Structure 1
Amino acid sequence: MIDFWLAAGLLLLVALSFLLIPVLRSRRAQLEEDRTALNVALYQERVAELQVQQQEGVLDAAQMDAGRAEAARELLADTEGVAAPRVTRLGKAAPLLAAILVPVLGLGLYLHFGASDKVELTREFAQAPQSMEEMTRRLERAVAAQPDSAEALYFLGRTYMTQDRPADAAKIFERTVNLAGRQPELLGQWAQAQYFADGKKWSDKVQALTDEALKADPKEVTSLGLLGIAAFEGQRFQEAIDYWNRLLEQLPPDDQSRIALQGGITRASEKLVASGGKVAQAPAAKPAALLKVRVDLAADLKAKVQPGDSVFIFARATSGPPAPLAAKRLTVADLPATVELGDGDAMMPQLKLSNFPEVQLVARISRAGQPTAGEWIGRSQPLASSTTAPQQLTIDSPDK
């Protein structure tokens, strides 16, 4: 913050110089004017002496004229080069008053409209916090400085949860939802914080939040985990197993939380068996989709494309979101080429080939490297996402 004030002070000095320089110049002009008045007074005194000497008969008329001419030459020599005095309507007090008021007014306006707190926060966040408490204080100041920042509120809520402050976290997540909208992830975080803030008591509010989150996104992980915890605490062990199995499907293979989650499923299974129940078998997982497609270029287009032009090959649902379900990128120089599109190439985890029964294969050439628009395109007929036979796709039409 010191360097900021140093820079501001330097700019202030530059601004004041434009106000003080005229004052200094006027003072110099005043000194020159005073010196000129003194020379004129000396000239008049010399002429008076000559007149007295002439009256006493010491000087004749010729000597009198010669002495007066000599005094005039001396006066002219002393005043030569002195600029004519400039008349100003501002006077001397106005620039000095402005020099005092400008920095005071500037400082007041900055303190009122400026963002010194945000500048200081930016400097603080550039350095790693020394403790979780320090990080929390920074986030709290960030929220105070930017109350409309959903991102700052979200991170503050997560930090409160790690510090076992669920009541504070619930209030923060509620504010986040009001700002950013009722997104499934935010609803899940709010429900989880509210559940622990209520002493692990399930309520209609928590139920409504988790229902809304899973309706918008059936794979929302926080809601699935929370419902599993609530079911386990309520001794509904089969429900807990089902929710946690659904959550387990969403986690990457190398996720460390899979171990704890699997342990929870094991404990729930043991308690279910001990109570005389039987663990229901989880439904078989849907086989992963894998489409193999050979992409080629129509003969009449080979002279119209360039080797470096991008080629985007993707599959999209015939009835569903317009976003590609799986995509690969090549260049014209790679054609003809055979590629595989599968669940592992999904653009988003919830948009997998295996989640949609029917898809269409598309290949697009884009000189600008844009996957959504290009010069030439090829499309296949709709086919089942479970198709295993190799497909042929030819780029042969203008992209309109």
Structure 2
Amino acid sequence: MMVAQLVVAAVALVFVAWPFIARSRTATVSAEQQLAEISREANIALYREQKQQLDEQRDSAELNEAEYQQQLTALGQLLLDNIEASPDIASTSRSQGLWLLPVLILLLLLAVVVSYRHYGAELDLEITAQLQQLDAGEASSAQIEQLQTTIKERLARNPESAYYWNLLAQRAASAGDFAAAADYLGRAVEWASEDGWLYAQYAQALFFAADRQFTDAVNLALDRGYALTPDDQTVLGLKGVQAFEMSEYAAAIDYWRRAQASLDPSGSGWQALQSGIERSRALLGEGSELPDSSAPTVIRVELNINSAVAASAQQAVFVAVVQANGGPMPLAARRLTVAELPATLLLTERDQLSAERSLRGGGELLVSARLSATGTANADSADIVVRSAPFTLVDGAASVALTLGGGGD
């Protein structure tokens, strides 16, 4: 870190010292020229005045010709001596102002070191290095504690960093200290008041810190997070729990189904939400009907491209959901480019091409991906196409994986 400070100081010194050096050189030459010129003109004027007096004395016969020539020669020699001595007078200006330069250099070095330690990235670099060790699994418990200490020192110098407050919150939550996590996240949202994800984490930490109770603080943070990011999984999960505890089972199902939209149906998170949905349905009653919005359709597509396929980055890829036993007209479709692969697509009702032809009413479905040779939606014999096996939606959801130039499932 000291090397970085010295480099910064060296660069700054160049800018501080250069005006003195340049001005000193320019001013020295200029001063010498001006003083020499003034001295020369004064000596010449004096010479002319004294010569005029000698001329008058000679004309009035006060001096004979020999005396006149002798004094005129002496006067000329005096003029030459005075002109040669004039640069010595100018040279005294060379050191004027330069005494201030070493003082400024010392003050600058002190200011650079102090300001860099307070405002610079010294601690940020240390934190980055420590996080890299932690991510690589090389950090000991003592190093983790040191990371905590370094982050706190960084925030003590400059608290305007939601990122570092969130790091402290994550460490506290992983240790089960949700009260501390909530406190850190509360500081984070002070500096990132429009970050819905942070508010979702804040609401969750407050919820756990309050022994899973929806206090006023939890509700306030949750409502703020929902207003900023209504599709956030954490927000929707908590809103579902809140609705469930208020016996609003239809609303709970709606929130949890929306939370499932960003999850893999085979994952534990999706399954946990599904258990809550099934329990809510049971409590709601067998004969009760849920609005369509309570069970959105989500088809998750993991799309990749084989490295052996020759394709340009901007070449178009068309993904479509069609009826397995129907015509070629897609029920839903999405366009992307090779540069975006690999990609995870969530095809929903928003991707339907027609409101009359729903994904839910399509029976058995399959997903196809086509690397277009022409760049248009029209099929061509040179296109590379891959299709999934037929499948049916389970509670409005399904998941497939496709590889262009490879295969599908």
TM-score w.r.t. the length of structure 1 is 0.47
TM-score w.r.t. the length of structure 2 is 0.46
